[in-house]
Amino acid sequence: MKNIVLGMLLLFVAFTTQAQEKKNKNAKHNIEVNGNCEMCKKRIEKAAYSVAGVKSADWHIDDHVLHLIINEEKCTVTDVKKAIAKVGHDTEDVKATKEDYDKLHGCCMYERK
């Protein structure tokens, strides 16, 4: 009887341990962010770095891709997208409000989709 209980307990621990999602401390993500110029680059990267857990943020003007390295124990990609949208730049999932977009400098106003 003791062996059966011990076996069931070990089986339970094995399943619960396997079910937990492991968070990556150096997760790499690439997200599309609309923008036009160097001012956009500074604004987008600053917004990304304002999120606790962002280790690296590098936005490329030519392909409009933000290369991120984040600690998934502290933040999510969605947190970063929301911060970027708050400063007026659209991402594929989170769009900036009209009010935030209208605050952008004239050269930074990209064609909204």
pLDDT tens readout for residues 33-43: 999 999 999 99
User: Cβ-count burial of 29 within 10 angstroms (0-12 exposed, 13-18 middle, 19+ buried)?
Assistant: middle
Domains of the chain by range and CATH? Answer: 23-108 (3.30.70.100)
pLDDT in the model for residue 2: 64
Kindly report the pTM of this predicted structure.
0.80
| CB-side neighbour CA atoms (13 Å) of 16 | 6
User: Is 70 exceeded by the pLDDT of residue 18?
Assistant: no
For residue 13, the model assigns a pLDDT of 64
pLDDT at 9: 61
Task: Give pLDDT, residue 22.
Answer: 77
pLDDT score, position 20: 54
